[in-house]
């Protein structure tokens, strides 16, 4: 079991704040699809488990972008792999109209169909705001297993809550909008879709202006079923299987997700868990790759002839 040990307790940040990007301003993702041409192990979007990936419709996309018109941070187009969306170009034209400042628009992509959409990508996004990771297996890449429920490995609620309040995802990564609404955390958004949750908040013009005490409903619903706050050792994104703890394993079995059905989910072991981040090898879990291995879009784009794992119906 995990204990706090030397872990420093820090409280959660407002949705609009981050401790690492752009002077403390957060990124909020508009997730236009959770379909992907890849199927990395322990994907933050649980790719491989969805029987029916979503593709955000234009009305929802417009409402999503308009809800962020006055948000002071970066707005990311995210997946899955965003370029798999059948109306990607159309949505990006809308994005440019609603968010006219180039410095506020960003794209997360593995490069799939980049050549097909190069003209619109170059028109909408500045090069430094194209965040590219092709998940090339020749480059070490790590994902923290997020199907390990913190309630399963940290049974004491008070201790677990302190870990949750210090979660690196909430402090460093992004809030998200999916077709089911707005979420304080991108992993919470993915979990809600996978486990058929009640959805997120309505897309009001100020949903992103919430302080921690205003999003504890989502914290209680999702964070106890997630392991982002739990110190762990590094796990390769190319292992070919996902780790899960008993409660989430039962949910996957009940849903009979494709990845579970294929035998590509195994139960977490004690060897993966650590008593503190001082002990863990994954001391910077927010970095999938080391700084020296980060890649950007120009000159490093994969070919378009890869068969995606999910296609629009």
- Give the pLDDT confidence of 110-148 residue by residue, as tens digits: 999 999 999 999 999 999 999 988 888 888 888 899 999
**pLDDT reading at 194 higher than 70:** yes
Domains of the chain: 25-296 (3.20.20)
**Angle, alpha carbons 118-124-128 (nearest 5°):** 85
Give the pLDDT of residue 69: 97
Q: Is the pLDDT of residue 7 over 50?
A: no
| CB < 8 Å & 24+ apart, contacts of 193-200 | 193/34, 193/46, 193/50, 193/54, 194/46, 194/49, 194/50, 194/255, 194/257, 195/225, 195/251, 195/255, 197/221, 197/222
User: Mind listing the pLDDT tens digit for each residue in 199-249?
Assistant: 999 999 999 999 999 999 999 999 999 999 999 887 899 999 999 999 999
Tell which residue, 52, 22, 71, has the closest CA to residue 206: 71
Q: Which residues contact 250 (CB under 8 A, 6 or more apart)?
A: none
Report field, pTM of the whole predicted structure over 0.75: yes
């Amino acid at each position: 079991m995990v204990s706090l040990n030397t872990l420093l307790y820090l409280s959660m940040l407002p949705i609009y704040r981050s401790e690492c990007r752009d002077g403390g301003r957060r990124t909020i993702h508009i997730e236009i699809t959770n379909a992907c041409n890849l199927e990395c192990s322990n994907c933050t979007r649980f790719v491989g488990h969805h029987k029916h990936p979503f593709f955000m419709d234009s009305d929802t996309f417009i409402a999503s972008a308009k809800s962020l018109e006055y948000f002071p941070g970066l707005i990311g187009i995210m997946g899955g792999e965003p370029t798999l969306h059948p109306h990607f170009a159309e949505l990006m034209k809308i994005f440019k109209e609603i968010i006219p400042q180039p410095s506020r628009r960003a794209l997360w992509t593995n490069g799939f169909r980049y050549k097909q959409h190069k003209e619109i990508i170059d028109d909408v996004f500045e090069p430094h705001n194209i965040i590219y990771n092709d998940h090339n297996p020749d480059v070490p890449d790590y994902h923290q297993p997020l199907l390990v429920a913190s309630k399963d490995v940290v049974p004491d609620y008070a201790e677990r809550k302190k870990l949750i309040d210090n979660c690196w995802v909430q402090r460093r990564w992004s809030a998200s909008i999916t077709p089911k609404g707005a979420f304080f955390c991108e992993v919470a958004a993915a979990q809600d879709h996978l486990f058929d949750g009640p959805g997120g908040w309505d897309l009001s013009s100020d949903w992103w202006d919430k302080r921690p005490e205003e999003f504890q409903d989502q914290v209680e619903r999702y964070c106890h079923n997630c392991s982002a706050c739990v110190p762990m050792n590094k796990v390769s994104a190319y292992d070919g299987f996902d780790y899960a703890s008993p409660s989430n394993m039962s949910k996957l079995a009940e849903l009979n997700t494709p990845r579970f059905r294929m035998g590509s989910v195994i139960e977490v072991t004690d060897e993966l868990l650590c008593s503190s981040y001082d002990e863990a090898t994954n001391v910077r879990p927010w970095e999938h790759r080391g700084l020296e291995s980060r890649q950007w879009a120009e000159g490093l784009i994969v070919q378009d002839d890869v068969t995606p794992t999910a296609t629009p119906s």
